[in-house]
Chains A and B, each alone.
Chain A
Amino acid sequence: MVRTEDFNILVIDEDPDRAAIVERGLVESGYTRVARIGTSHNLVERIQALAPDIIIIDLENPDRDTLEQMFQVSRAIARPIAMFVDKSDSSMIHEAVAAGVSAYVVDGLREDRIRPIVEMAISRFNVFDQLRRERDEAKAKLNERKLIERAKGILMKEKGLTEEDSYNLLRKNAMKQNRKIYEIAQSVITAFQLEF
């Protein structure tokens, strides 16, 4: 019997950042034998060389189609199955699908030993999703601020307004038209680009 921490875990993900987050989570929980690979044309050979007990792969990864074929025909390696076949725990599967995680495990491993690994992957995927959302929002905010700055600059130069008056003009129009300030700023920029 292998000890839990002796499992060979393979993380396959096209997104290296997400793979790194999952890997770190697993290593910090005591699973030391974690490997990760991205997109690879010799996927089958690499997996055979690594002989993983568990594969964590993002649900939408096109490599899954390749993997499932490999598991079907493979006689050389232990035959993996999708997570928890014939187990009644469908709530975890739903959770995994919602988070975008899929897992394949070597048949015969006990569910209670796989569960913490899959749970870790699900939580890390969710964390990554949250981080990405925050990053996207921050980026969008930054862009909005840039637009407003540019529009203010145009109004100051073209209309001789002070910075404060330029901003107030944008805000007043935004309120009047029930739009966001950056949208008005975008209109100002577009209008002046058209003119010159």
Chain B
Amino acid sequence: MGNKVRLGFVPLVDCAIPVVARAMGFADQENIELELVREMSWAAIRDKLSYGVYEAAHLLAGIPIAARLGLGGVPVQHLVVPMALGRGGNAITVSTRLYQRMLEADPAAMHGPRGLSARALKKVIDEDRASGRPVMSFATVFPFSSHNYELRYWMAAAGIDPDRDVNIGVIAPQRMFDSLRNGWVDGYCVGEPWNQRAVFHGDGVIVALKDDIWSRSPEKVLGVRQDWVDSNPDTVSALVCALVRAAEWADEPGNRAELAQMLSEESNVGAPYDVLKASLDGRPVLRPGEAPIEVPDRHVFYRYTATFPWLSQASWVGAQMKRWGQVPANTDLNQVIRQVYRPDLYRTAVKGLDVAVPAHDWRVEGTNGAEDRAFVGPDSFLDNSVFDPELG
């Protein structure tokens, strides 16, 4: 009899790690009876984890921090993060109509680095304001999502005030595509396959990839309850091992076709195979009808320490919470981050496995070209800034 672990996930490409852990037997090998349950809402998955319906969950990097702080009028929950579930996969997609306007307003910006494409959006916003048009609407998937912080970072770098110059709302991932199609939003930031889907249908254009904004930006994490960790330390370790092994498998280019097949099943992501395959192969199509471009790090599951719960990435999320007024600027988040993100649990779990772990739990982020580049991967912010988490 294995240890039963019920894990809730949201249908996105980055649910790959738990899906592979179950399907390819990595969970069985660790004596874990892994049951996967698909959820359609981040609030639902958070509540079901918090109140014991699940032992583990695929969560947005910011949710466990927000839960520990009791943000958003939700009771305080003691969730912890023993590992990350890969990164990559997000993009900013705008309607084909808005894309045309951006192209006309600032062709130079639209042909320059994608991270700076918001400069064209700024011009469109200025035009709208001059002619008295209502502000445009954008959507992300949750208030405490990397998507929200990436969209805002991209806009703010071009001089757009995301709280004043546009409306930013929240729409669940699987509803994004319809919302764009029906003209309810002008653009969104979401994980794959919901960007590729809009492009394949001719309804949207990708104007920036997560890589273009900050390549090492954190994405999904494994969330568990503190009390469950305290009473089941061995199961936590076994679960982390199984998921790390699954991540390694999912990262192999030779396994990506099989992975796309697996994810296309209705009980997993339930999106068309070719949409998933294009994304997983790192060959996204940015504009309808065009040839794919090469982005080898579009989905990173294992390499570049993509499963390590870096304190500095959590700290960046915390800094964005402050920047956008979700927490008061004088809040001391370092202690909270150390309670929630637990690289020690990761280190204990993978001890004895052939898994390379960083020497420290945090680093100065945005230092592309630093000595650890081969190990942690490309690391640039779109504005070449450097983020010092000051965790020392």
Contact = CB atoms under 8 A, between A and B. Distances in A.
A3 B175 CA distance: 38
B293 interface: no
Contacts of B48: 59, 97
Contacts of B51: 93-94, 97
A72 interface: yes
Interface string A58-85: 0111111111111110000001111011
B159 interface: no
A60 B46 CA distance: 11
Contact of A60 (B39, B73, B326): B39
Nearest to A90: B51
Interface in A22-70: 41-42, 44, 59-70
Given A41-B182, A60-B39, A62-B41, A72 B143 contact: yes
B229 interface: no
Nearest to A67: B43
A29 B47 CA distance: 28
B75 A60 contact: no
A62 B175 contact: yes
Nearest to A66: B170
Interface in B41-84: 41-44, 47-48, 51-53, 70-75
A119 to B, nearest CB: 17
Interface residues of B, number: 30
Nearest to A59: B44
Nearest to A41: B184
A69 B75 contact: no
Contact of A94 (B41, B52, B75, B143): B52
B35 to A, nearest CB: 17
Contact of B53 (A41, A97, A104): A97
B70 A85 contact: yes
A86 interface: yes
A107 interface: yes
B142 interface: yes
B174 interface: yes
Interface residues of A, number: 31
B179 interface: yes
A166 interface: no
B172 A66 contact: yes
B186 to A, nearest CB: 14
B171 interface: yes
**Secondary structure dominating the interface of B:** loop
Contacts of B295: none
B54 to A, nearest CB: 11
Interface in B178-236: 179, 182, 184
B40 A68 contact: no
B141 interface: yes
A91 B41 CA distance: 23
A98 B52 CA distance: 10
A16 B326 CA distance: 35
Contacts of A82: 73-75
- Which of A41, A67, A93 is most buried by chain B, counting CB atoms within 10 A of its CB? A41
Interface in B152-178: 169-172, 174-175
Interface string A79-111: 111101110000001100110001010010000
Interface of A: 41-42, 44, 59-72, 79-82, 84-86, 93-94, 97-98, 102, 104, 107
Given A65-B141, A82-B73, 13 more contacts: A42-B184, A44-B169, A60-B44, A66-B169, A66-B170, A66-B171, A68-B73, A68-B142, A68-B143, A69-B169, A70-B170, A85-B70, A98-B53
Interface of B: 39-44, 47-48, 51-53, 70-75, 141-143, 169-172, 174-175, 179, 182, 184, 326
A-B pairs with the 7 shortest C-beta distances? A62-B172, A81-B73, A69-B170, A64-B43, A97-B51, A62-B41, A82-B74
18 contacts: A41-B179, A41-B182, A59-B48, A60-B41, A62-B175, A64-B41, A64-B43, A65-B42, A65-B141, A68-B73, A68-B143, A71-B73, A72-B143, A84-B75, A85-B75, A97-B48, A97-B51, A97-B53
